[in-house]
Amino acid sequence: MIAQADIGLLDGFERALINGRLRMAYQPKVSLSDGRLRRVEALVRWDDPSLGAVPPSRFVPLAEKHGLIDELTQWGLRTTLRQWLSWREDGLDTCLAFNISALSLDQLDFPDLVERMCRALDVPTDRLVLELTEGATQPLVKLMDTLTRFRIKGIGLAIDDFGVGYSTLMQLRQLPFTELKIDRFFIEDAPSSKESALIVKSIIDLAHGLGLTVTAEGVETEDQLRLLRDLGCDVAQGYFVARPLEPKQLIPWLDEFEERWHLLIRDEPQLP
C-alpha cells in the first residue's frame, strides 16, 4: 500500500531523477589533529519547483520501496565521481564518502559495478568510502561477502549514525568496516553532559581498539569540536566545520577553514 501523499512525491521524484533535476551537495570531513580535509560526503538534493527542497529522509526510503534506488545510486555515484575529477583538475585530490542503501548490498555484483564506474572515470577506488547506516545493516552477516568484496577492491566502508540503531558491537567486530561515525545525537549534548561525553569517549576507544577511524557527526559548536579533539576523535563533520556545499564552494571553503583552524588552535589552552 502506498499512502496517497507519497504517490505525488514518488511521481515527482521519478521525474526529477529522469530529467536530471537532482543534484549533489558535498559536506567536508576534517581531521581533528590538523584541521585538514579528509574527505567530502556526497548528499543528494532535490529542489522541486512547487514542493521546495524535499529532504532525502523523505524520498530515499520511497526510492528504496519502489524500485528506484539503484537508479538513484548510480546517478549519484556517477555525478560524485565526475565531481571528483573536476576538483582534481583544480588541484584538489581528496577522498569521497558516498551513502548507499543496504538494499544495493543484496546484489553480489554491486561491488563490481562500483569498481567499473570508478575505472570508467579513472578514479582510484581507494578514494572512495561507502557509508552504511547501522539500522540498515541489520542482517549483517548476510552482507559479509559483499562488504568483503568492496574491501578487496580498496573501497572503504563506514558505519553511519552509530549508536542510535540496533546495537551492533558484535557485528562491528565481525564486519570489515574501516570507519565509524558517531551519530550526532551523542555529540549534541556531550559538552554539557558528563554521561554523553563518557559514551562518546567509550565509543571512540572501542572503535580505535577495533582499528576503525572515528568520525563525529553533527558538530555544530566550537565546544563540541574542542571536546572531541580532547577525547581523541579522528574526524569531525558538521555545520561548525561546514554545511553541505555546492561543488564550486569547496575550494574557497578550504582557505577559509584553514584560517579558522589556526585561530582555534592558537586559542587552545596550552598544557604546562
Greatest distance between any 2 Cα atoms in the chain: 65
Total residues binding ligand C2E (CB under 6 A):
22
Q: How far apart are CA 11 and CA 9, in angstroms?
A: 5
- Min dist. Cβ of residue 266 to Mg ion (A): 31
Among 12, 87, 111, 133, binds ligand C2E (CB under 6 A): 133
**CB closer to Mg ion out of 14 and 41:** 41
Q: Identify what 238 binds: ligand C2E, Mg ion, none; CB under 5 to 8 Å per kind.
A: ligand C2E
CB-based burial, 143-155: b 16+ in 10 Å, e otherwise: beebbebbeeeeb
56, 68, 69, 103 from 64: Cα distances, Å? 11, 6, 5, 7
Contacts (CB under 6 A) with ligand C2E, residues 6-65: 27, 43-44, 55-57, 60
| Number of Cβ atoms within 10 Å of the Cβ of 29 | 28
157 pairs with which residues across the strands?
Answer: 130
**Partner from ligand C2E, Mg ion, none contacting 56, C-beta within 5 to 8 A by type:** ligand C2E
- If one asks whether residue 215 binds ligand C2E (CB under 6 A), the answer comes out as no
What are the C-alpha distances in Å from 208 to residues 45, 156, 270? 33, 16, 25
Q: Is 220 in the site for ligand C2E (CB under 6 A)?
A: yes
160, 171, 172, 229: which one contacts ligand C2E (CB under 6 A)?
Answer: 160
Rg for the chain (alpha carbons), in Å? Answer: 19
Stretch that binds ligand C2E, among 82-90, 99-107, 226-234, 248-256 (CB under 6 A): 99-107
At a CB cut-off of 8 Å and minimum separation 6, what does 21 contact?
A: 15, 46, 47
Query: Is residue 234 near Mg ion by the rule CB under 5 A?
Result: no
Q: What is the number of the residue whose Cβ is closest to ligand C2E?
A: 238
- Residues 181-220, one symbol each (x = binds Mg ion by CB under 5 A, - = not), give ------------------------------------x---
Helix (H), strand (E) counts: the chain: 10, 9
Site string for ligand C2E, 235-264 (x = CB under 6 A): ---xx----x--------------------
Which residues of the shown chain bind Mg ion in the complex (CB under 5 A)?
99, 131, 160-161, 217
